[in-house]
């Protein structure tokens, strides 16, 4: 044990005091202690108080107009199958083999989401996926009142739905201008996630103009890191002015829960859709009459294009607006009504917003030649989606696909009546075909711009291409046709 006597304690004390005094002098001489430091927390505190007050005012302005949307659906259960599912769980086989015995059962299913009242006469904005196929919809207000809601109209292509309730003294949210949204702005999300009524979360605008997220046919999303969870769908995304700038729609997540990436439909798009649904119960969109695909470096090379931005016309619908104007398959669209076209989503949105019957100027490249067309825009017809698939026989090993000639039965099953070609029946995982996006059920119409009608045509075309670095396929998937470049080296 170490012992320290009284004299030693005195020495230690004096040394400590001396060191403390020297430290003050040194710190003072180095200007470590400044007179301005004491004032900074006061200024920061006032700024924070103002920011907090802005949060509170924004929530107070909008929250009373946020509603809970309860949905009742009638669900039909599939028949009981004693020994598991049908082979491949594929409708193709179900059509050729009788369904196992069993009786379909109906039962009630319940869902919930959020919405926001946008007019004194009771119009409510929400998501289509919240109320789709609903048998009954109940809207609950912040004061506890409940109303049966009527669906005025739904637009699956943007995931917007408009409801109507009959109530008095309704709180109404102010709608902002989503064109003024900028990355970095503070936003709040309000809704009913996970049955937690009137939950408010905060974040910023992470990005604008998000597309290719596979949430809707027409995408121009606002991305935010404000927490959005199941039940938030249909609720408002607001700014600190207390204005609705978006309708919360979905999240990107590996777990199904919040991971910092949420998406909201811009309120300007939602307003445009709402006004059409209120007026006629449906949405009218412009139609160019072409199938399009992205412009890749491989496509640019194959078509000898002098540009690297635009979209490729994969097919032209017979008798459609583009066909009548003279636009052809293989053309590259670079401008629409004077505005540059950089990607497919831009063109789709621009065309959809063009009133049917109006003329649009379309600038294209046909190879290295620039051309302009005046196109009378038509009205977008209702789309009929869906494709089924069937097993096949012959394999093309280097490319990684298995193919067979299109028969009458397969053509009827896949909706390819009247077509000729070879059908892809399997794609090897990790193969050049897989990496390029070819898939089972695609109908090969051309290889390197040579028409394919029989297996013999296909074999000859593939044989000619075996020394090339890439092969250009023209395929049909369901109703849409497009080009695919398969790299071989």
Radius of gyration of the chain (CA): 31
Per-residue burial over 391-408, b if 16 or more Cβ lie within 10 Å, else e, is ebeeebeebbbbbbbbee
Q: What is the pLDDT of residue 34?
A: 45
From the centroid of its chain, how far is CA 240? 26
**Mean pLDDT, rounded, of the chain:** 82
Select which of 63, 114, 129, 206 is catalytic: 129
In this structure, are strands 450-451 and 470-477 parallel, antiparallel, or unpaired?
A: unpaired
| pLDDT surpasses 60 at 85 | no
* pLDDT confidence bin for 78, thresholds 50/70/90: low
pLDDT, tens digit, 9 for 90 and up, residues 289-313: 998 999 999 999 999 999 999 999 9
Does the annotation mark 233 as catalytic? yes
Long-range contacts of 466-474, Cβ-Cβ distance < 8 Å, separation of 24 or more: 466/398, 470/298, 470/302, 471/399, 471/447, 472/302, 472/446, 472/447, 472/448, 473/436, 473/438, 473/444, 473/446, 473/447, 474/314, 474/444, 474/445, 474/446, 474/447, 474/449
Q: Kindly state the average pLDDT of the residues 454-469.
A: 82
Q: Kindly state the average pLDDT of the residues 27-56.
A: 63
Beta strands in 24-133 (DSSP E): 66-77, 105-117, 123-127
pTM over 0.75: no
- Among 223-227, 254-258, 467-471, the range scoring the smallest mean pLDDT is 254-258
Between 105 and 28, residue with greater pLDDT: 105
Between 364 and 97, residue with greater pLDDT: 364
Contact partners, residue 163, CB within 8 Å, separation at least 6: 69, 115, 123, 124, 126, 131, 137, 139, 149, 150, 151, 152
From the centroid of its chain, how far is CA 8? 76
- Among 81-95, 209-223, 224-238, 430-444, the range scoring the smallest mean pLDDT is 81-95
Select which of 155, 159, 220, 315 is catalytic: 159
| Share of residues in the chain with pLDDT > 90 (%) | 54
* pLDDT confidence bin for 76, thresholds 50/70/90: low
- Among 31-40, 118-127, 156-165, the range scoring the smallest mean pLDDT is 31-40
Does the annotation mark 308 as catalytic? no
Tokens of 412: 């009827």
Q: Kindly state the average pLDDT of the residues 26-30.
A: 32
Q: What is the pLDDT of residue 155?
A: 94
What domains are there in the chain, each with its CATH number? 174-280 (2.40.10.10), 286-379 (2.30.42.10), 394-487 (2.30.42.10)
Does the annotation mark 220 as catalytic? no
């Amino acid at each position: 044990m170490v012992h320290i006597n009284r004299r030693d304690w005195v020495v230690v004390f004096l040394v400590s005091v001396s060191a403390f005094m020297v430290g003050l002098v040194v710190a003072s001489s180095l200007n470590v202690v400044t007179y301005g430091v004491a004032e900074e927390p006061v200024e920061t505190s006032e700024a924070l108080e103002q920011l907090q007050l802005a949060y509170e005012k924004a929530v107070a302005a909008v929250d009373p107009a946020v509603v809970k949307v309860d949905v009742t659906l009638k669900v039909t259960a599939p028949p009981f199958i004693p020994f598991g599912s049908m082979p491949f769980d594929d409708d193709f086989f179900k059509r050729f083999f009788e369904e196992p015995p069993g009786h379909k059962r109906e039962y009630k299913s319940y869902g919930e989401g959020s919405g926001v009242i946008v007019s004194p006469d009771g119009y409510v904005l929400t998501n289509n996926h919240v109320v789709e196929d609903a048998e009954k919809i109940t809207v609950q207000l912040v004061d506890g009142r409940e109303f049966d809601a009527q669906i005025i109209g739904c637009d699956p292509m943007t995931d917007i739905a408009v409801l109507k309730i009959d109530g008095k003294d309704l709180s109404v949210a102010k709608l902002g201008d989503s064109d003024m949204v900028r990355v970095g702005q503070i936003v709040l999300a309000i809704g009913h996630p996970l049955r937690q009524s009137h939950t408010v979360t905060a974040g910023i605008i992470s990005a604008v103009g998000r597309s290719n997220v596979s949430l809707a046919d027409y995408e121009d999303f606002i991305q935010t890191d404000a927490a959005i969870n199941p039940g938030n769908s249909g609720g408002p995304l607001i700014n600190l002015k207390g204005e609705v700038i978006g309708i919360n729609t979905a999240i990107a997540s590996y777990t199904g829960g919040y991971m910092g990436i949420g998406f909201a439909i811009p309120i300007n798009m939602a307003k445009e859709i709402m006004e059409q649904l209120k007026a006629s119960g449906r949405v009218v969109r412009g139609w160019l009459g072409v199938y399009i695909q992205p412009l890749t470096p491989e496509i640019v090379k194959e078509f000898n294009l002098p540009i690297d931005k635009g979209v490729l016309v994969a097919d032209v619908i017979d008798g459609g607006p583009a066909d009548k104007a003279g636009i052809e398959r293989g053309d590259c669209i670079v401008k629409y009504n004077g505005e540059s076209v950089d990607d497919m989503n831009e063109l789709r949105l621009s065309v959809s917003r063009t009133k049917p019957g109006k003329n649009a100027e379309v600038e294209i490249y046909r190879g290295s030649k620039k051309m302009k067309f005046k196109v009378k825009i038509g009205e977008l017809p209702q789309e009929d989606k869906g494709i089924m698939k069937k097993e096949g026989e012959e394999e093309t090993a280097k490319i990684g696909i298995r193919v067979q000639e299109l028969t009458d039965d397969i053509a009827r099953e896949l909706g390819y009546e009247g077509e000729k070609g070879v059908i892809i029946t399997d794609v090897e995982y990790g193969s050049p075909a897989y990496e390029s996006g070819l898939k089972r059920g695609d109908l090969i119409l051309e290889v390197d711009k040579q028409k394919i009608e029989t297996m013999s045509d296909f074999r000859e075309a593939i044989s000619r291409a075996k020394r090339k670095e890439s092969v250009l396929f023209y395929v049909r998937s369901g109703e849409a046709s497009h080009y695919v470049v398969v790299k071989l080296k």
